Chain A
Amino acid sequence: MSGPGENGWRAGRRAGRHGRRAADLVLALALAAGPGRGCGQGADPAAGQVVCRMPEPAEIPAPPAVAYRRCPLASKVGEFQVELAQHFTAVSGSIAEAPLPTDVREVVVESGPCRLLRRRVLDCDPACTAGMTCAEAGRCVRYPGNLDAGTVGVTGLRCQVQMHPDPVSQRYWDTNLPHPGYEPGASIGLHASGAAVPPFSLAGWGVAPLVLDQALLRLEPGQPVPIAWTPGQAGPARIQLDLVINQHGITPATLSCEVPDSGRFEVPVDLIERLLAAGTSGYPQLRVSRQTSDSADLPPGCVEFVVSSAVERSLDVAGHTPCRSDVDCPTPKRCQVVSQSCL
């Protein structure tokens, strides 16, 4: 439900904050020497204008040897993202002081490039008090706060970005980028000057917008699921596929695969069966992301840098008839209301 607020949202765009510490100054100088200007420096937030210079093609370095490195589920504490969405490009990120228990998904089964993951339902009774969160075995633990990583600069975009953490949430973000925010194939780097965490650098690559070649995708028992997309240019990007069956979190199972950007992948039958067996309910979805991912192990845990372009689609599941009562189901099936599925 919703009603209008009394006051308006500020017209949108925030320039980076600059130059607080000596180390930050070094980074700022390094960024200024690059091919673009800091978005904040040339931006007029009131007018929503961003002034920056497009790098010449010769200035775009050859694709770097970006290794595709993800964080282990149990040790991931943070992520920085360059997200090429349909209507905008955004940079954001944060690093927590510890993994958040609800973020750590259980691996039900692993097969080749695919894993079946399940969100753990952590139940604490009585509920955890303010500032705490529920962890394993019904324990309440302190909700991990975010850490200051110093000035974080992102190079290789159409506008170079440097960000300082929000003083309250220690979160980084910048929405000053033009759209699209980078050239496909651009070498993208992320550099943190360090503060509560040590300095670190991570590499990314300008992935092309993802185009899915199918309007409708169908899951059928006993059948693999072919997924087709327009392949990207040769480079370090991979495709992440997430088949999500998690109607409102009641059966939160996700089949996740990381595959080459070849234009086609068949999700194996055995995993489809396992996914369906984990419970089908509601209205499943597929998310396909072309991305690069680099990671660094820091004292609090593992941090990723992801450059991505993603598309989401509905999934049609054969034999799964969404329902709200028995009358919606073909005889002799009956509606299991809790899963909204004819069984």
Chain B
Amino acid sequence: MRSRAWIGPVATAVFLAACSEGAASNGPSGCAAAATLPLPALHVAGPPASEDFTFDGEGYLLALDSGRSLVRVARGGAPMLVAPNVVANGRGLSVLGTGDVVIADQDRSLLVRVDRAGDVRRLTTTIANPNGLTLGAGGQLFVTDFGITGDVFRVDPESGEALALARPAAGSNGLAFSPDYRVLYVGDHDAGVLYRLSLKADGRVASAERWVQGIGTPDGLAVDGCGNVYAASWDRRVYQVTPAGQVRILAELPSIVSAVAFGSGKQGWKADSLYASALQDGGVFEIDVGQPGPPPPP
């Protein structure tokens, strides 16, 4: 169990005590909860306005410039072009274990895979409106078909084979895995609801439940090493949902945010800070939650 002092603009915000509810029971020892929320957030310029972002193996933040070109950014730096015009209208982004990047292209109903040389190939063409994207155990991709069917698909990153697993809601959007990669969280963008899908060892859904509500208009999701779920919301907030299902406002922000991810710990991005992308204005907000993200998928 760890206590930690917050050094930031809000002197009253102090990290104290252990996770009172689920975090302590589900997460590793050392999980601590902020006693005073919301936390302050620092706007970091540099990344382009991008619906989603992630970090590559060298620790750079990867995002889409104008929704089409893949760029990477060190904290405080300017975007550097990785591959131009790889998608028509990119949404979710995820980095495979190989270092290749997979991007959901909404306008072309595609997942594309961009290799480390910048070459692009179509991965799957069967998802009408691919949006949220995350990497699960065994390197499998999980994708939402937002606004059309609301299906959650599992996609093989090599063959591109796509299998519909569940249909939580038409507004299925952001996705994130629990730290043990056994539970997949799915945000319903339209209803402000978070669904929880328990997965079997073969990646199929064992059970699904409507878990919590009242998380605004959730877009991208992230999970920390303690099992807290974070949702970037279009109501200018980042929500935190503890493993026990308590919904809290982690940060109030001056603009709409569409994705959240923990820093890489490299290139200036802090490993124990949560970053939220400013959808319209560009840049990211840096929120020091004092916890790193989960380990990579097994």
Contacts and interface: CB of A to CB of B under 8 A. Distances in A.
A169 B121 contact: yes
Interface string A112-134: 00000001011110011111111
A4 B57 CA distance: 6
B189 A130 contact: no
B88 A10 contact: no
B85 A1 contact: no
Given A2-B222, A87-B78, A143-B122, A337 B190 contact: yes
Nearest to A174: B84
A4 B62 CA distance: 10
A324 B109 contact: no
Nearest to A179: B81
Contact of B220 (A1, A12, A90, A168): A1
Contacts of B97: 5-7
Contacts of A2: 52-55, 93-95, 134, 222, 259, 261
A7 to B, nearest CB: 4
B161 A130 contact: yes
A248 B189 contact: yes
Interface stretch (B9-17, B65-73, B194-202): B65-73
A129 B121 contact: no
Interface string B118-155: 11111011111101111100000000001111000000
Nearest to B73: A87
A102 B83 CA distance: 23
A127 B259 contact: no
Contact of B57 (A8, A314, A340): A8
Contacts of B98: 5-7
Interface string B166-199: 0000000111110000000000011110000000
A9 B125 contact: no
B283 interface: no
B83 A173 contact: yes
A102 B125 CA distance: 11
Interface residues of B, number: 95
B99 A85 contact: no
A88 B98 CA distance: 26
Chain A CB count within 10 A is highest, among B119, B174, B221, B262, for: B119
A90 B217 contact: no
B76 interface: no
B72 A132 contact: no
A102 B192 CA distance: 29
B226 interface: no
B160 interface: yes
Contacts of B256: 283
B234 A249 contact: no
Given A1-B174, A123-B148, A314-B280, A9 B99 contact: yes
Interface string A301-343: 0000000001010100000001011001000000001101000
A157 interface: no
Nearest to B67: A312
A3 interface: yes
B76 to A, nearest CB: 14
Given A5-B296, A102-B108, A340-B234, 5 more contacts: A5-B56, A90-B84, A130-B159, A131-B125, A340-B217
Interface of B: 49, 52-60, 62, 65-66, 69, 71-72, 78-85, 88, 93-99, 101, 106-109, 116-122, 124-129, 131-135, 146-149, 159-162, 164, 173-177, 189-192, 216-217, 220-223, 233-235, 256, 259-262, 264, 279-281, 293-294, 296-297
10 closest pairs, A vs B, by CB? A2-B54, A90-B84, A5-B95, A8-B58, A7-B99, A8-B57, A2-B261, A88-B81, A1-B176, A92-B84
